[in-house]
Amino acid sequence: MIVHANDGISTAGVEKLEAHGHTVITTKVAQEQLISFLQEQKVDALIVRSATQVRKELIDACPGLLLVGRGGVGMDNIDVEYAQSKGITVVNTPAASSQSVAELVFAHLFSLVRSLQEANRNMPLDGDTKFNELKKAYGSGIELRGKTMGIVGFGRIGRAVANMAFGLGMKVVAHDPFITDGTVLFTLADGQTLRCQANMVSLEDVLHTSDFITLHVGGANTLLGAKELAFMKPGSFLINAARGGVVDETALLHALDHGPLAGAGLDVFVGEPHPAVQVLMHPAISLTPHIGAATGEAQDRIGEELADHVISFAAKK
């Protein structure tokens, strides 16, 4: 098969595909030129991340396309049902990036509770002249141990977050309309496994009782608007590494300025790749540019899992 990875694929993925006799193209092609490129190269399998759009127009124009693979969890950039109706197999890699996203959640949390996002902005500017003032300003940190972590969306990533929270000595409450079992297997470095239990509660209970809330839900619908944010615990923190649209950013800024929120961590934004300047400039927000799955380990896992999908698909043909 001819495989085109328009948004890239790890070396491990390329090597596995080539070892099974497949041709891999990794040239980045602009969206407006992609259809003609796929036609000219007679591509059988298209692999994308979040940047490339696989919509009805492309699907109709490329009848030779047999498989579309999405590196990552969400498939908002692919017309999945329409592709499947045209006989195209659509796959993703839901488990490959869980650890990386969960670790980024805690990177934001640690940054927020110790004011690292503010300190790293102001130390280069005023550290040499206002050291003692900055020390006082950032000298009232918060420990995570003993606090309550609220997880909205208890799939693979949500459970990876819970795993880390238990390791830090946190209490865990979670909400997921499709999951009632809060069991989490906590694995130690020496291979020992401990069975931990998250308390599965309503969304309202998560919002009202959690010191920290992290979102791991799909879709583009707004989950937390002004009403929901107002219901959160005073002094709490919110992390969104899921989808930009699940949080009303205007309401988020209001909740940061007027309460109840003390801080927020955002890896995803409304209007990507052009986030609102008001969000980017807010001192109580820890910011990353949609890098939840951007670790070498995750990229290797994603590439190899996509390669496995292609190899398995080809073997059945």
Please check the confidence at residue 50 and state whether its pLDDT lies above 90.
Answer: no
Q: For 271-283, how does the pLDDT look when each residue is reduced to its tens digit (9 = 90+)?
A: 988 999 999 999 9
Please check the confidence at residue 306 and state whether its pLDDT lies above 80.
Answer: yes
Over pLDDT 90: what percentage of the chain? 91
2: tokens are 């001819």
Alpha-carbon span 215 to 105, nearest angstrom: 10
Bridge partners, 171 (sequence order): 148
What is the per-residue pLDDT for 95? 84
What is the per-residue pLDDT for 136? 96
242 pLDDT band, cuts 50/70/90, is very high
Please check the confidence at residue 219 and state whether its pLDDT lies above 80.
Answer: no
Alpha-carbon span 3 to 45, nearest angstrom: 5
Q: For 119-153, how does the pLDDT look when each residue is reduced to its tens digit (9 = 90+)?
A: 999 999 999 999 999 999 999 999 999 999 999 99
| Of residues 192 and 205, more confidently modeled | 205
Please check the confidence at residue 264 and state whether its pLDDT lies above 90.
Answer: yes
Tell me which DSSP letter residue 6 carries: T
Q: What is the average pLDDT across 208-223?
A: 92
Pair 34, 52: CB distance under 8 Å: yes
181 pLDDT band, cuts 50/70/90, is very high
278-290 per-residue burial string, b: 16 or more CB within 10 A, e: under 16: ebeebebbbbbeb
Alpha-carbon span 172 to 254, nearest angstrom: 27
> Half-sphere exposure of residue 162, counting CA atoms within 13 Å on the CB side?
28
What is the per-residue pLDDT for 76? 85
What is the per-residue pLDDT for 302? 94
What is the per-residue pLDDT for 290? 93
Q: List phi, psi (to 5°) of 24.
A: -115, 125
Alpha-carbon span 95 to 113, nearest angstrom: 29
Beta sheet of 67-70, edge-to-edge order: 23-25, 2-5, 45-48, 67-70, 89-92
Q: Which residues does 314 contact at the CB level (< 8 Å), separation at least 6?
A: 1, 20, 22
What are the catalytic residues?
243, 272, 290
- The domains of the chain, with CATH numbers, are 2-94+296-316 (3.40.50.720), 98-287 (3.40.50.720)
Mean pLDDT of the chain: 95
Highest mean pLDDT pick, 16-30, 68-82, 214-228: 16-30
Q: What is the average pLDDT across 74-94?
A: 94
Q: Is 57 exposed, middle or buried (0-12, 13-18, 19+ CB in 10 A)?
A: exposed
Please check the confidence at residue 70 and state whether its pLDDT lies above 80.
Answer: yes
Q: List phi, psi (to 5°) of 108.
A: -65, -45
> Half-sphere exposure of residue 15, counting CA atoms within 13 Å on the CB side?
5
Measured from the Cβ of residue 175, the count of other Cβ atoms closer than 10 Å reads 24
Bridge partners, 237 (sequence order): 212, 263
What is the per-residue pLDDT for 162? 97
Identify the three-state secondary structure at position 294: coil
Q: What is the average pLDDT across 205-213?
A: 98
What is the per-residue pLDDT for 37? 97
Alpha-carbon span 7 to 73, nearest angstrom: 15
Measured from the Cβ of residue 53, the count of other Cβ atoms closer than 10 Å reads 14
Bridge partners, 265 (sequence order): 239, 286
60 pLDDT band, cuts 50/70/90, is very high
Helix (H) or strand (E) holding 162: helix 156-167
Identify the three-state secondary structure at position 235: coil
Pair 170, 148: CB distance under 8 Å: yes
Identify the three-state secondary structure at position 115: coil
What is the per-residue pLDDT for 191? 87
DSSP characters over 176-234: -TT----EEEEE-TTS-EEEEE-EE--HHHHHHH-SEEEE---SSS--B-HHHHHTSPT
What is the per-residue pLDDT for 218? 82
Identify the three-state secondary structure at position 40: helix
